[in-house]
Amino acid sequence: MRILQLHSDFIEYEPIKKEIDQAEECEKKKYRVENVVVLFTAVEKGDSLESAHQAINEIKKSLEKIKTSRILIYPYSHLSNNLEKPSEAIKIIKEMESYAKSLKIETYRAPFGWTKAFNIKIKGHPLAEQLKIILPKEKEEKKIEWKVPKPEYLIFTPDGKSYDPKKYRYKKKEKDFRALVEKEALKKEAKGGEPKIINVLKKFGFEWETSSDTGHMRYGPKAALLVDLVGDYAWQKSLEIGVPSFYIKGTNIFNLNLPAIKKHADLFGERLYTIHMDNKDFILRYAACFQQFAILKDWNISYKQIPFGMFEIADSYRYEQSGECLLGFRLRRFYMPDYHIFCKDLEQTKKIAIDVHKKIYEIIREIGTEYVCLYNLTKSFFEKNKDFITQLAKIEKKPVLLHFVPEGKYYWVLNIEYNIIDTLGRPREIATFQIDVGNAERFGIKYVDKDNKEVFPPILHIAILGGIERYLFAVFDNALRKKIPILPLWLSPVQVRLIPISDKYIKMAEKIAEEIEKNQIRVDIDDRSESISKKIRDAEMEWIPLIVVIGPKEIKSKILSIRVREKGKIVKMKLESLVKEIKTKTKNKPFRYLTLPKLLSQQPIFIPKS
């Protein structure tokens, strides 16, 4: 704390305008105090209520020397560039005032958080002007000791039975589940190494942005297309749960001085991206919670509108350790399709959670892979809702790992983490959902029930796909397990490549491409001066699912020879049949156009960084 102490004949001041959100209410008028010691005060980081007492005790000694007992505490941030948060600073300023009064010092205080005009006349004696620096006394920080439940982990099977993870006998089909249990419950280290997926991601345009912070990616045209398609897919799948929902957008920076924001953010600790501006601390959000909750607290909601959902693709930031960042998976900046459902009560929440759980499994099984799950939950929630947990396990058709957490530590009572086991045998969390029983009250989100009473709704937090990059990580990981790697047709950046056998057939290829594109199918043309075999080889290296060579035979017969990557063979069919087959396979999936020139000769050469 820094205090400029001025013994004055008088000070006149007038509040002009509020500088910060936490500014006190006061009357805009001129105030005058005579024969007073003015304390221009800046509260710094590390100061505490004890610092307030230290400061006043120091001031009291000075007052005794100059034989006066009247002070004015005047908040003045310009004395320091290491200011405490306003929410904390005002508490300390008020404590100074209260403590001074308790010592029988005649005390006045100027309002906190205002721009003020002032006029002061300082007395002309040697002790009239003094600068005091109050250093906080070192003390041990009190930490809440959370009691870890015993047992901390259990394996829970769909028939409702529980087992000690150390004694459980795994079945042949439970290799992936065993990998999860060994990592989470038995704390065994998974083998190291870089997965093959990294080079594949780079080939599709997912790269680190070396001009930014560690863990930030950039997305080339094909990668950007995949990100947008998955975002559309997440919204579509969220709507399929059947709850009326709103799509919103907002900011990614939030004021850490607001109590609700701070309490929620404290759970992330060192993983927060923080920014200090205009004497305020801000965080870059790590999910869509802050924006959605900030909107909802200003809405008037009736029980007739419950349940409803809110969806946003949040530009999200988490300050992961640099050594743990993994391209396409563990990132400091990523896109999170975040969906919240606001429910009437816990029973309705559980009912909707069953549908959410089914949808999350439907999505991952569609790409041909499977999750193994970690259920983080309180013991009391498990004991009261064992039938509900059994229902969830039955949907999975395999055991789940229960992890019991201390009562009251988190805002949720159930947090399910959906993991794939990657090609190196390591668990990777992709999707998640939580039952939140704390944030509605914290953020002031409420609805009015039929008895005209205000109710804080339970909230389902749902990452139905997980982060966009993580979902794509799962898609690519699954593709690499196949004999011939291939993406789902709706996600393939180029779905059809036309290869004219010479320049003579480029115009015809363009006509065919136009017809294909009319049907919302992504197509390009390899018009480069390369051999046919090289063009086919390049298309296969790009995982193009359908390759069509265009020559005189195809034009004359109107029968296309199509190299089908998934089948590893050539089939013949008419253009209409090709279009129909693609439309059938991509039915009810999002579509976007590729933002690259149709002719490969016009596309810049993309060279992935090593």
Place of tokens 């009247």: 70
The pair phi, psi for residue 563, each rounded to 5°, is -85, 110
Residues 6 or more apart whose CB falls under 8 angstroms from that of 595 comprise 221, 224, 225
150 has a pLDDT exceeding 90: no
- What global pTM score does this model have? 0.78
- Mean pLDDT over the full length of the chain: 92
Q: Following DSSP, what letter does each residue of 346-383 receive, concatenated?
A: HHHHHHHHHHHHHHHHHHHHHTT---EEEEEEEHHHHH
Q: Which of 461, 423, 575, 460 is nearest to 508 (CA)?
A: 575
Hey, what amino acid is at 265? A
Structure tokens at 160: 């409702």
d(CA 42, CA 356): 51
Cα 606 → chain centroid: 30
pLDDT bucket at 141, cuts 50 / 70 / 90: very low
pLDDT tens digits, one per residue of 189-216? 877 777 889 999 999 999 999 999 999 9
d(CA 189, CA 214): 25
70 has a pLDDT exceeding 50: yes
d(CA 232, CA 493): 15
Which helix H or strand E contains 93, and what residues bound it? helix 86-102
d(CA 571, CA 564): 7
Confidence (pLDDT) at 281: 83
Q: How many residues does the chain have?
A: 610
CB atoms within 10 A of CB 305: 13
Q: Where are the beta strands (DSSP E) in 30-168?
A: 31-42, 70-75, 106-109, 114-122, 129-133, 153-156, 162-163
Q: Which domains does the chain have, with CATH numbers?
A: 2-133 (3.50.80.10), 191-371+419-426+436-479 (3.30.930.10), 489-602 (3.40.50.800)
pLDDT bucket at 138, cuts 50 / 70 / 90: low
